[in-house]
Structure 1
């Protein structure tokens, strides 16, 4: 049996280029990127780069550091997915038993399907199919976000629903956009999965993740409810004007967290988008994923090897063009309109793993098909590559999502990483 390849490293020239790219991106204080943090690790847990520059806010910010904590939005989804797969491993829930899921979350049983009526309104009809846990995890349940789909934007406005920062499960229960299992729609499936996890375990998702993921991986500052010490250095939100490109500070979406006013009653912890975390902590999670489910530092396993394999499988072979549907923003402070959700040269078929964009052909940067990437609403992005044994997170604090300055920087850095990758020679003792 051959020995495993040594863990990859990045040449010093590449590290210098990455730092220079970040330094250049934050130089324009009015139209650039306020601040950035990058973290890169390999499959052995070696910290190849932790670097920060800029400010936590364009107006009132402190210096950005590698200890700055970010609200990472949909980057939460991957961690919640792994938590749910732990329950699958333990036989507490089945991925494809829709009867079981709808007994755990009976609110799903009566969700209608919404469509536009052609007169500026909407039409509701009963659903015929049931929702499974797999559908929640791979975005084929029919659930969506109100800032992403016109039908839901109309519904949310009429019923005064805030599905981005819900006060309870009822505010997540927008109508479905399609029959479950018949299309890919991006939305609150992972929030519902988090509710199922809480009901199965009797723990809040914060309590469960702390015990089963954060502590085993030594992720000390990862939480839905950051304390006052962590909030002393958090990345505030900054909004880019679509016309002028100028930035201004923007009120945080999770005001109850920032102002710490959640102790007056029930506080909903969103498994689809509620985490506050440091990039260097998030990459501890990614390093376990590329190391077969085991932390390379603590040596503790969070999921089985076969479950890691499941995570990497394409979950949507029937929807190879799911990300090529034109996307129109219904909240221009949160989302940029675009013709493509994810774009690869040549427009090959698209894949989706659990729970991230999965390339089905190699990325032009050098990243393999045994990889994935996704991001959070205020433009934090990650990728991980099991074949190459490498993972990265780039965190900013800019709205709306898919800011061109951040996304272009993300892929430039990815190209630099793979252009300067090497594996040290093994030393025989």
Structure 2
């Protein structure tokens, strides 16, 4: 059977993938895997220092920033954030529409939104491009949501349920980013540079490509599978080869800093963040107790049911990021928690999440292994990317075990 490297090279040579960077390491420094396959742009080979649109991988960094604010006593996880995010005072819940007039039906939320809600997607905030109710709501409004629309206007929407009563992927981390900026009196860029990137020696992550020319120079060219597919389309089912595209996900230069998805950076630098959290006791980012809280299941049964249904819908078609439907899941502060051992070798207690162009990170504290699959394909959910990411995940545990990493040591929960 072809090796891991051979299978990725074959996939790239065949046009099934463009370019991909695969990274993994253990917290003790015994094991490191760093490989790049395929192309960065037409005719140009990719290398491990390539930079990517990190998209929702940004959420982990914003969570770290927010938890640092908690550690300093600037806010508590269960505080009402509307005292700082005053735009959320009196927020309404969208319950449906009057079918005769198409007017939205709205009611004032009774529960207050907390920082914990923002970090765990239990606030009731959603993404208008992903939720049909919100899509319909915004279709009734004047078309003012453009690239130049202010950040707060673009992330402001009614809720989909009472805060704390369910789970819906949405703009909570964008609001958490605004919260960090207001608490600290600085931009997310400046804050993360001082409190996350500099402590780990990270030079090639930013919200503003114009500030770091090397990030711009090394940025991969976007690709898509399916010529007619839009950024927010469902993944192609036709098995087309990938093709280079001029689709732009971020403005450059960029005036806004979205805590939920605005960063650009190198996979190698992002892995430093994963490894630091994995090595909880020696992390320079957060106290061990804070990291333990991040990896503690946060969802009540109602939220866990909603999350499980979300994953099951993806798992049915083997969509990128999905876990098999029997997997026990919850959500931590920063990402999805996998609460049962996975067939790939990933252990119960692992935290993971993804980014729009089919990137995915994992932190498995039970085995001490962190990994990052940095892909570059639109739309999100790409089936071939899922197949190859799962292959990478399986092989990583075998490679780590071969150098003496105890990958079967179990959950840290």
Say whether the fold is shared (TM-score over 0.5): yes
Report SS of the residue matched to 2:213.
coil
Please tell me whether residue 285 in structure 1 is matched to residue 273 in structure 2.
Answer: yes
Q: Give unpaired runs (5+ residues) of structure 2.
A: 227-235, 406-413
CA RMSD of aligned residues (A): 2.8
Q: What's 1:18 paired with? A: 4
Among candidates 163, 174, 177, match of residue 160 of structure 2? 177
Give the structure-1-normalised TM-score: 0.83
Q: What's 1:249 paired with? A: 244
Q: Is the 8 A contact 2:320 2:358 kept in 1?
A: no
Q: What's 1:96 paired with? A: 78
Please tell me whether residue 315 in structure 1 is matched to residue 298 in structure 2.
Answer: yes
* Deviation, structure 1 residue 308: 0.9
Report SS of the residue matched to 1:193.
helix
Which deviations, in whole Å up to 9, do the C-alpha atoms of 1:46-66 show, x marking residues without a partner?
Answer: 661211121224xx4632111
| Equivalences for residues 380-391 of structure 1 within 5 A | 380-391=359-370
* Deviation, structure 1 residue 291: 0.5
* Deviation, structure 1 residue 348: 4.1
Please tell me whether residue 347 in structure 1 is matched to residue 332 in structure 2.
Answer: no
Please tell me whether residue 273 in structure 1 is matched to residue 256 in structure 2.
Answer: no
Q: Is the 8 A contact 2:315 2:322 kept in 1?
A: no
CA change 1:364–1:164 in 2 (3 A) is: farther
Give the structure-2-normalised TM-score: 0.86
* Deviation, structure 1 residue 142: 0.5
* Deviation, structure 1 residue 157: 3.3
Please tell me whether residue 109 in structure 1 is matched to residue 92 in structure 2.
Answer: no
Cα distance in structure 1, aligned partners of 2:260 and 2:217: 25
Q: Is the 8 A contact 1:316 1:351 kept in 2?
A: yes
Q: Give unpaired runs (5+ residues) of structure 1.
A: 1-12, 296-300, 330-334
Aligned residues: 389
Q: Is the 8 A contact 1:314 1:352 kept in 2?
A: yes
Cα distance in structure 1, aligned partners of 2:402 and 2:294: 26
Q: What's 2:206 paired with? A: 223
Q: Is the 8 A contact 1:370 1:385 kept in 2?
A: yes
* Deviation, structure 1 residue 163: 8.8
Among candidates 393, 401, 404, match of residue 422 of structure 1? 401
Q: What's 1:379 paired with? A: 358
Cα distance in structure 1, aligned partners of 2:312 and 2:342: 26
Q: Is the 8 A contact 1:378 1:396 kept in 2?
A: yes
| Equivalences for residues 226-241 of structure 1 within 5 A | 226=209, 227-241=212-226
| Equivalences for residues 325-340 of structure 1 within 5 A | 325=309
CA change 1:71–1:182 in 2 (3 A) is: same
* Deviation, structure 1 residue 355: 1.6
Report SS of the residue matched to 2:57.
helix
| Equivalences for residues 105-184 of structure 1 within 5 A | 105-117=85-97, 119=99, 122-159=104-141, 160=143, 162=145, 167-184=150-167
Cα distance in structure 2, aligned partners of 1:188 and 1:425: 41
Report SS of the residue matched to 1:394.
strand
Q: What's 2:194 paired with? A: 211
Which deviations, in whole Å up to 9, do the C-alpha atoms of 1:84-126 show, x marking residues without a partner?
Answer: 001100100110011xx11100001132211332736632222
* Deviation, structure 1 residue 158: 3.4
Cα distance in structure 1, aligned partners of 2:292 and 2:312: 34
* Deviation, structure 1 residue 420: 3.5
Cα distance in structure 2, aligned partners of 1:339 and 1:288: 30
Q: Which moved more, 1:270-279 or 1:60-69?
A: 60-69
